[in-house]
Amino acid sequence: MCNNNSSCCHISPDPIKFFPNVKGNLTKIVWAHAVNNLTKLDTVLLSENIMMLEADVVMGKLSNTNQTDIPIMAHPPAVESDLSLENFLELNIHSNNTKGIKLDFKSNEAFENSKPILARLRANLTFPVFLNADIIPGPVDATTASLNAKDFLKGAKETIPESILSVGWTTRYGKELNITEGRYSLKQIQTMVDTLKENKVTQPVTYPVRAGLVANNIDVIKTLLKNTTFTNATLTIWSSDGDTVNATELSKLIRDVGIDKVYVDVPEDLKNKLQFSAASTMNAAMINLAASMAFLVLSRML
């Protein structure tokens, strides 16, 4: 971990160097999702297993105070929290800097108001920092407003140029909407690539893609990474509880892209279904074959 790692003195170091125990396998990085209140933050900071903290930033009220219209940690439609962005960052800074963070900005206003806080604390962010926003409309005919791409990319570079840009697409999918089919289109992929090129992005980029959608069009996602030649690019596969996901196809995507280029931030039940390497797939096949042969032998004995 960080305590024995020379990269600790750097602002937002490379996760592979910051977490040497994963040995370059990004799928081994363990995420905590929606760390949007003090109780959960305290819990995950004490956890030996959690490595990355994902949290959402909105404008709202800090509970039990007179502070309103400030960046807080909450997921829409919530507009009140007992944890402000400033407190979230300071608590991470003071916890021995052994975990990375991903800040998911839910509005242009939230990001603009967060920039001064990030700039002031930048020198102390000696752990991986992902700045996340949905900047392109995506599947399935998503209606959620995306953040202003130009402002977000410019602001991220000016505020924490060492950070990893996590830029994705708005989505309309999942059990709450009763939408179980969909995929990323080539046009949506190309719009993202063109947007980053037009804004002269040079920071490392990770593309957050929804598991249930990305598994339905592997070739398009490969095209995305192939065309992102102007910076280091990875995928961050995420999923909401109850999403319909083809685990077999998702496993194939991860193997094809490479475990050194894919973060996996999905519910535990889905992650347990994934096979990250050809070796693990072969092992599973061998286990199934052995079980079948044992059953056959047993049936002949009876």
Note the pLDDT of residue 9: 65
Can you give the pTM of this predicted structure? 0.89
Cα separation, 71 vs 117, in Å, equals: 9
The amino acid at 4: N
- Domain count across the chain: 1
Per the listing, tokens 């279904």 go with 273
What residues make up the domain containing 192?
A: 2-301
Distances (CA, A) of 95 to 4, 190, 250: 15, 40, 35
Letter string b/e over residues 232-250, b meaning 16 or more CB atoms within 10 A of that residue's CB: ebbbbbbbbeebbbebeeb
Of the candidates 212, 213, 268, 209, which has an alpha carbon nearest to the alpha carbon of residue 233? 209
As beta bridge partners, residue 130 has 102, 164
Scanning the structure block, which residue is given the tokens 């926003």?
133
Q: Cα angle vertex 128, ends 123, 129, to 5°?
A: 75
Report the C-alpha gap between 88 and 76 in whole angstroms: 18
Supply the pLDDT for residue 4. 45
Rounded Cα gap, residues 179 and 166, in angstroms: 25
pLDDT reported for residue 8:
54
Query: Where would I find the beta strands (DSSP E) of 10-73?
Result: 31-32, 52-62, 70-73
The single-letter code of the amino acid at 5 is: N
Largest Cα span, the chain: 77
Q: What is the pLDDT of residue 278?
A: 55
Question: What pLDDT sits at residue 145?
Answer: 86
Cβ contact 196:230 at 8 Å: yes
Query: Alpha helix (H) ranges present in 145-277?
Result: 149-159, 186-198, 211-214, 218-227, 247-257, 268-271
Could you tell me which residues come within 8 angstroms of residue 146 by beta carbon, excluding any fewer than 6 positions away? 133, 134, 135, 136, 137, 169, 170
For residue 20, the domain's CATH number is 3.20.20
pLDDT 10s per residue in the chain (302 long)? 444 444 556 999 999 999 999 999 999 999 999 999 999 999 999 999 999 999 999 999 999 999 999 999 999 999 999 999 999 999 999 997 799 999 999 999 999 999 999 999 999 999 999 999 999 999 998 888 899 999 999 999 999 999 999 999 999 998 888 898 999 999 999 999 999 999 999 999 999 999 999 999 899 999 999 999 999 899 999 999 989 999 999 999 999 999 999 999 999 999 999 998 654 444 444 444 544 454 444 444 44
Whether residue 153 contacts residue 196, with contact meaning beta carbons closer than 8 Å, is answered with yes
Which residues have C-beta within 8 Å of that of residue 48, sequence separation ≥ 6?
none
Q: What are phi and psi of 234, to 5 degrees?
A: -135, 175
CB neighbourhood size of 141 (10 A): 10
